[in-house]
Amino acid sequence: MIFWWFLLLASAVSWALTGFLLRYALAKNLIDIPNERSSHSVPTPRGGGVAIVLSFLAALPVLNSFDLLSTPICLALSGAGSAVAITGFLDDHGHIAARWRLLVHFGAAAWGLYWLGGFPPLAAFGYILDLGWLGYLCAAFYIVWLLNLYNFMDGIDGLAGIEAITACCSGALLTWLAAPDSSAVLLPVLLASAVLGFLVWNFPPARIFMGDAGSGFLGIMLALLSVQAASVEPRLFWVWLILLGVFIVDATLTLCRRVLRGEKFYEAHRSHAYQYASRILGAHWPVTLAIGAINVLWLTPVAGLVALEKLDGIAGLMLAYSPLILLAYRYKAGASQDAS
């Protein structure tokens, strides 16, 4: 019962902080001005995602003091999340070169992996695969990619928030089904609660945007939560990859197609499938709600089959991603912006 009140408090604090950050952004002129690469048409304050960061990170030592969260996990999430959020906050206020941001991102990934005990063995086709040092390296790239793709996918109102809430709630439920005695259930629910307070301000039409501090923070938190879940039960890593499938497929396919055309992957653009879809439909909210529905009605059931050992993780991943790839092509993910 205390934990449920704690979740309500996290949402309330996040909501109140977002309101404060809205006034701060207006005072400091932290405004996203629409341009030819934007998906919005109205100048909007940015940086509201800091509310998610502060409300979530402030809760970690409290959970630790009540023995609901181990010290290594607390250090992993606090250190990695703070580094990424501070870098994003500074970038929101003034541009930081991509190479320095990437250096911080890899450092944060290494910090998180160290305190989580590295990348755990994976379950695949009935076997447990321990990748050793190669697993550490692959995990670092996975964390950095998820961090950055979350930033790329935060381009229309409410989308990043809906993705985090649905993935976290489903991840917590499926973790509970696979490992009911694990404390790994608590953190996704806490993160979803912090995001909910912000989403009240960000749901279409958004009054404030998340900014790099918030989107990068969510990306690395979700990546580290997936690694933590895999350390509890190896098949849960595939569960999280399935739950995050819309973001992973759209961002990865878009990046690959742009790189193959010789475009600079780090330059701003609006060629993701969700961005084309929002232009076709003429609004953000149908796309945001549709992706939330896909997460709940398609990805969660498939991930549930994996969590309950009714389906192999890789097979489940292929099953879940197949229609997402078709949808991404249908909505021109990574196509030249001249095609719009």
Please give the tally of structural domains in the chain.
1
**pLDDT given at position 261:** 87
In this structure, which amino acid lies at residue 109?
A: A
**pLDDT given at position 34:** 81
Range of the domain at 326: 2-339
Residue of 316, 307, 56 lying closest to 173 (CA atoms): 307
**pLDDT given at position 73:** 96
The phi, psi pair for 185, rounded to 5°, reads -70, -30
Kindly list the averaged pLDDT for each block of 10 residues, start to end, along the chain of length 340: 86 98 94 78 92 97 92 97 97 88 97 95 86 91 97 95 98 94 88 98 96 96 97 95 98 94 80 95 96 98 97 97 97 77
Residue of 52, 37, 65 lying closest to 279 (CA atoms): 37
Q: What is the distance between the alpha carbons of residues 48 and 64, in angstroms, rounded to a whole number? A: 26
**pLDDT given at position 184:** 86
**Global pTM value:** 0.95
**pLDDT given at position 316:** 97
